[in-house]
Amino acid sequence: MFRILFQLGGITITTYGVMLATAFIAGIIVAERRGIRYGVSKDTVGNLSLLILLGAIAGSRAFYVFTHLSDYSGEWQRAFYVWEGGLTFYGGVILAFLICLIWIKRRRLSFGKLADTVAPSLALGIGIGRIGCFLNGCCFGKPSNFGVVFPPDSPCAWELGVGVRVHPTQLYSSLAGFCIFGILLLLGKRKKFSGELLAWFFLLYSLWRFSIDFIRYYSPSAYIFPNITNNQVVSAVVFILSVVIIIQRRKKSVRKR
């Protein structure tokens, strides 16, 4: 774990923040290059990326705080301390999606083209961003006979005790993000309908998220059912919807031939 990169005067630069920024910049670069193929301008990609960033941070933080209210009791100002970690992916997805959908409709842009343009960038962002989680010491796994031991000043030590070996679920998720990124690039050559890559992103990510949550550590407030987290419930819904959309849209594209 390497939480603080350096300090400049009264400003602290964290590795978590740097990795999030790196993920955002890398995602924009990839999306801009893909936009050339789909006829999407750099300005459109840039504006959309900014909306995704703002919506993702606000939504993911709000969802995390909502599901961990007891952690902020008496210190509600900490709910705004994004640099401490604590972002829930699906909360960010929901808010960012709604904001972007409104923006796209108002400007009468093609949702499908934009979805195919940015989908791989979302996966790439997860791959890079989860490395930041590992360096920050958040989003760690459950105790394991193999894995990593985080230092005494880490969230893992605060929750489970000093010296406890846990699954490095952050690195597992990072690898999954990079794999999904590669899969989406390959699927881009075989897609049957506009916007299909975004549907595949949600399908692959939700399947992964449902699986990894069995070995990821959560506070008791995150569990809706015994051994089932709120994220797993959302993942199951997202997976089913993604499968339905892909099957129906692919069948429709075949009938049009």
Q: pLDDT at position 3, please?
A: 77
Task: Indicate the number of domains in the chain.
Answer: 1
Helix, strand, coil % in the chain, rounded to nearest 5: 70, 10, 20
Better-scored residue on pLDDT, 241 or 10: 241
E strand spans, the chain: 4-8, 11-14, 143-149, 165-166, 223-225, 228-229
The residues pairing with 225 across neighbouring beta strands, listed in sequence order, are 228
Residue 49 corresponds to which tokens in the numbers above? 């990326």
Query: Which of the four pLDDT bands, split at 50, 70 and 90, describes residue 86?
Result: low
Of residues 240 and 89, the one with the higher pLDDT is 240
pLDDT at residue 257, rounded to an integer: 57
Longest dimension (CA), the chain: 64
Average pLDDT over residues 140-144: 95
Percentage of the chain exceeding pLDDT 90:
54
Q: What is the pLDDT of residue 79?
A: 73
Euclidean distance between CA atoms 132 and 18, whole angstroms: 8
Domain span holding position 28:
4-255
Q: What digits encode the pLDDT tens for the residues 181-203?
A: 999 999 998 898 999 999 999 99
Burial of 43 from C-beta contacts in 10 A (0-12 / 13-18 / 19+): exposed
Q: What is the pTM of this model?
A: 0.89
pLDDT of res. 255: 65
Full 3-state SS string of 35-87:
HHHHCCCHHHHHHHHHHHHHHHHHHHHHHHHHHCHHHHCCCHHHHHCHHHCCC
